[in-house]
Amino acid sequence: MSLANAPTTTHEHDTAATLDAIAHAAAWVKGAIAPTVAAERGECTIELPLRHAGRQRLTLRYEIVGDRALPAVFVAGGISAHRHVTATAAFGEAGWWQGQVGEGRTIDPRQHCVVAFDWLGADGSLDAPIDPADQADAIAALLDVLDIDRLQAFVGCSYGAMVGLQFAARHGERLQQLVAISGVHRAHPYASAWRALQRRAVALGALQCDETHGLALARQLAILSYRTPEEFAARFDAAQVSDGRVRVGAEDYLDHCGATYVERTSPTAYLRLSESIDLQALDPGAIRLPVTVIAVAEDRLVPLSDAYDLVERLRGETRLRVLRSLYGHDAFLKEEAEVAAVLREALEDCVADARAEVLA
């Protein structure tokens, strides 16, 4: 891979900023915590050989929260996630993982430099097959641009966990520990069948010159695969007759999910990233670093049996934590306290090791 140009960011770095970073790092080692954290956004252009589409010129858009002198943690979510993980003074809108990342939370930018980016293909400009391994290589290229030699941790959820496993296998020398939540080394055939039908819904909408409606329907089908029958039984009432037709209790909720999704997602981005999940194929034996696997017993997209298979085949130190949740695959977004407890356990050793290295 080659870097086409240096990144452009929303903040300039000068000697004073460098001295501030050193001072902040020293305060962190001593246990002092600054009341606010810096945040910056930027983008860079790289050239990257894609596994199924040849060499491509690509723009990577990233966000960094926290002091660059602190240990770096890369955070990645599902295919709908993006670079904005948590709200800051600079970027005040809520992030997609606000419950886990932020001052006083488990991944605290006063103690970590939190890095995230927009997935390859997220803007709809890359209309080609995208392998999870391509995403991992793009992250490695981004770290080169940002002068980050090694990550203290990669925390990935859903598709992000798949990409994290690829990163651990392909760039293991640049990673201390991986936390993989609700994502494993393969796409289960049942889950792939769900996604294939969702993509057909988009295609059917396009045939009817109504691609947006097709995308909304695909999102509604996806929601059913993310959640559980138990949640819907507790949450929604029985069907009723309204204006001469039967309307079930969940329809308003599903309509809302579809409508909000199409406002922020292009059909091309959805299709290519949905396909990318199904391209996941990895030998866990290639990973020889510490991995914490968090699985959800009720997850219908990532069966518990696949999590067990992953853990048995990994070659490094491994933890498996199994959660129970009505929210199924979406537990990483909804079960904040339970996920935080496992994340805290996984990160404690990394933080202790990083402090020891700085003090040495």
Which CATH number does the domain housing residue 297 bear?
3.40.50.1820
Catalytic residue among 192, 276, 329, 330: 329
Give yes or no: 329 in active site: yes
Taking the C-alpha atoms of residue 42 and residue 146, their distance in angstroms, rounded to an integer, is: 10
Taking the C-alpha atoms of residue 15 and residue 22, their distance in angstroms, rounded to an integer, is: 11
Q: Does residue 18 have a pLDDT over 80?
A: no
Mean pLDDT over 176-194 rounds to: 98
Instruction: Answer yes or no: do 126 and 196 share one domain.
Output: no
The pLDDT value given to residue 209? 84
Q: Indicate whether 157 belongs to any domain.
A: yes
Q: Indicate whether 12 belongs to any domain.
A: yes
SS (HEC) of the chain:
CEECCCCEECCCCCHHHHHHHHHHHHHHHHCCCCCCCCEEEEEEEEEEEECCCEEEEEEEEEEEECCCCCCEEEEECCCCCCCCCCCCCCCCCCCCCCCCECCCCCECCCCCEEEEECCCCCCCCCCCCCCHHHHHHHHHHHHHHCCCCCECEEEEECHHHHHHHHHHHHCHHHECCEEEECCCCECCHHHHHHHHHHHHHHHHHHHCCCHHHHHHHHHHHHHHHHCCHHHHHHHCCCCEEECCEEECCCHHHHHHHHHHHHHHCCHHHHHHHHHHHHCCECCHHHCCCCEEEEEECCCCCCCHHHHHHHHHHCCCCEEEEEECCCCHHHHHHHCHHHHHHHHHHHHHHHHHHHHHHHHC
User: How many domains is the chain partitioned into structurally?
Assistant: 2
Average pLDDT, the chain: 90
Instruction: Answer yes or no: do 45 and 110 share one domain.
Output: yes
Whichever domain contains 218, its CATH number is 1.10.1740.110
Give yes or no: 13 in active site: no
Q: Indicate whether 282 belongs to any domain.
A: no
Mean pLDDT over 225-251 rounds to: 96
Vertex 23: Cα angle to 22 and 29 (nearest 5): 90
Instruction: Answer yes or no: do 12 and 133 share one domain.
Output: yes
Which domain covers residue 117, as residue numbers?
2-187+287-359
Residue % of the chain over a pLDDT of 70: 88
Q: Does residue 145 have a pLDDT over 50?
A: yes
Q: Does residue 16 have a pLDDT over 70?
A: no
> How many Cβ atoms sit within 10 Å of the Cβ of residue 142?
22
Instruction: Answer yes or no: do 163 and 303 share one domain.
Output: yes
**319 versus 359: which is more confidently predicted?**
319
The pLDDT value given to residue 17? 39
What is the amino acid identity at position 177? Q
Mean pLDDT over 160-166 rounds to: 98
Instruction: Answer yes or no: do 68 and 168 share one domain.
Output: yes
Instruction: Answer yes or no: do 230 and 161 share one domain.
Output: no
What's the token pair of residue 135? Answer: 């995403």
pLDDT band at residue 47 under the 50/70/90 scheme: very high
Which residue in this structure is represented by tokens 């959640």? 227
The pLDDT value given to residue 225? 97
What is the amino acid identity at position 116? A
Instruction: Answer yes or no: do 134 and 272 share one domain.
Output: no
Q: Indicate whether 47 belongs to any domain.
A: yes
pLDDT band at residue 5 under the 50/70/90 scheme: very low
Q: Indicate whether 104 belongs to any domain.
A: yes
46: β partners: 3, 58
Q: Does residue 161 have a pLDDT over 70?
A: yes
Instruction: Answer yes or no: do 157 and 220 share one domain.
Output: no
The pLDDT value given to residue 26? 38
Taking the C-alpha atoms of residue 80 and residue 152, their distance in angstroms, rounded to an integer, is: 25
β-pairing verdict for 245-247 and 240-242 = antiparallel
Give yes or no: 299 in active site: yes
Domain limit, last residue, from 254, 277, 300:
277
Q: Indicate whether 344 belongs to any domain.
A: yes
Q: Does residue 157 have a pLDDT over 70?
A: yes
Catalytic residue among 80, 158, 276, 325: 158
Q: Cα(first)–Cα(last) distance of the chain, in Å?
A: 35
